[in-house]
Amino acid sequence: MELAQLRYFVAVVEEGGFTRAGARLHVSQPGVSAQIGQLERELGQRLLDRSGRRVTPTEAGRAVLAYARAALAAVEGVRRTAEEFSGLLRGRVALGLVPGAAGAVVDGFDVVEALGEFHDAHPGVEIALSEDTSERMLAALLRGELDLAVVGLGREPPPGVRVQVVLDEPLVAAVRADDPLMAVAVAGAVPLSALRDRPLISLPRGTGLRGVLERACAQAGFAPRVDFEAAAPAVLVRLAARGLGVAVVPSGAESAAAPRTAAGTERTDGDGGSGRLCALRITEPELNGRIALAWRADGPPGPAAHELLRRLRSGAPGGAAP
């Protein structure tokens, strides 16, 4: 049995005839027919039904077809991998991001810049980007559906996943200057217990930040009352600025950044004093939000993903090649 015979067989099935298969493969129709006949004799089974206007696989042919396709795919994988190791990087890398990660630049960690440099160096590699919650992306990593991911860490990563933390910031409660929470703030900080029964604005469940908030509240003896959810911290802060509740966000969130005062961090939203947004540190306990680059512990699946991981890690705080 030869690979050419399997290639001819698959082409005849997909094209529905010997002539069209020959044209696709740049082989004469008699040549295709002769190779298929030889394959059928070797296997001792008729693989194709030639009685109709369109050639179709027999029951045995349908069973063989899946294995023929798999064999051809495996050979293509061998060829592609050899090319990658010889410096001709090709293939596809699937990268997952928490919402907003593509626009963030932290201590030299710049996803967009790293992707641009990678594409310039290896234009033959397809990069597939997607956004999702951290929990779903970590599960997708373990299933092999993602090669790399930038996730929020609410706890230790699951077994089988390695991470490199690229951002570790305290969480703050962002509120309007006229919010009742300001009355209990001391030196720009409020205890976690002050958020009990308050309308909170948070990232969705499944995100690292939301996990940190829920576990801390559970340990403090209450469940957080989350009235509004949004996928990006900047949106959470805007909702808080409209007086819709207390936004729990990382202290470095761009929309929360403003000059510090004794009452916290303030920003004027254009409607006088009530529109000022204050970022109060959460204490007792202090909460931190972490963003990390994640990959499978056994390493990326191929040279292309390995090279992208190396570039991302080298640009991250404390970066090093894997």
Residue 63 lies in a domain: yes
What DSSP designation does 52 have?
S
pLDDT per residue as tens digits for the range 312-321: 888 665 554 4
Residue 320 lies in a domain: no
- pLDDT score, position 53: 87
Output the average pLDDT for the chain: 83
**Residue 18 contacts residue 29 (beta carbons within 8 Å):** yes
Q: Which amino acid is located at 85 in the chain?
A: F
The number of distinct structural domains making up the chain is 3
- pLDDT score, position 316: 63
Q: Determine phi and psi for 284, rounding to 5 degrees.
A: 55, 60
Q: Which of 23, 54, 85 is the last residue of a domain?
A: 85
Task: Count the residues in the chain.
Answer: 322
Share of the chain above pLDDT 90, in %: 35
- DSSP calls for 244-307: S-EEEEETT-GGG---EETTEEEE--SSSGGG-EEEEEEETTT-EEEEEEEEETT--SSHHHHH
**Cα–Cα separations (whole angstroms), residue 306 to 187, 258, 272, 299:** 47, 39, 52, 7
**Residue 189 contacts residue 281 (beta carbons within 8 Å):** yes
What DSSP designation does 89 have?
-
Residues 239, 305, single domain; the answer is no
Residues 207, 184, single domain; the answer is yes
Residue 42: which CATH number? 1.10.10.10
Residue 253: which CATH number? 3.40.190.10
Mean pLDDT to the nearest integer, 236-261: 72
Cα–Cα distance, 130 to 280 (Å, whole number):
32
pLDDT per residue as tens digits for the range 162-198: 999 888 888 899 999 999 999 888 988 999 999 999 9
pLDDT per residue as tens digits for the range 25-52: 888 889 889 999 999 999 999 999 998 8
- pLDDT score, position 273: 43
Residue 234's Cα: distance from chain center in Å? Answer: 20
- pLDDT band for position 209 (50/70/90)? confident
Residue 264 has pLDDT above 70, yes or no: no
Give the β-pairing of 105-106 and 109-110. Answer: antiparallel
Question: Which structural domain range is residue 203 located in?
Answer: 168-289
Residues 222, 275, single domain; the answer is yes
Cα–Cα distance, 280 to 249 (Å, whole number):
10
Cut 0.75: pTM above it: no
Listed in sequence order, the DSSP H helices in 26-166 are 29-43, 59-85, 111-121, 134-143
Of 17-21, 90-94, 97-101, 193-197, the one with minimum mean pLDDT is 97-101
Neighbours of 155 (CB within 10 A): 10
Of 37-41, 70-74, 102-106, the one with minimum mean pLDDT is 102-106
Is the Cα dihedral 78, 83, 87, 90 positive or negative?
negative
Share of the chain above pLDDT 70, in %: 84
Neighbours of 191 (CB within 10 A): 15
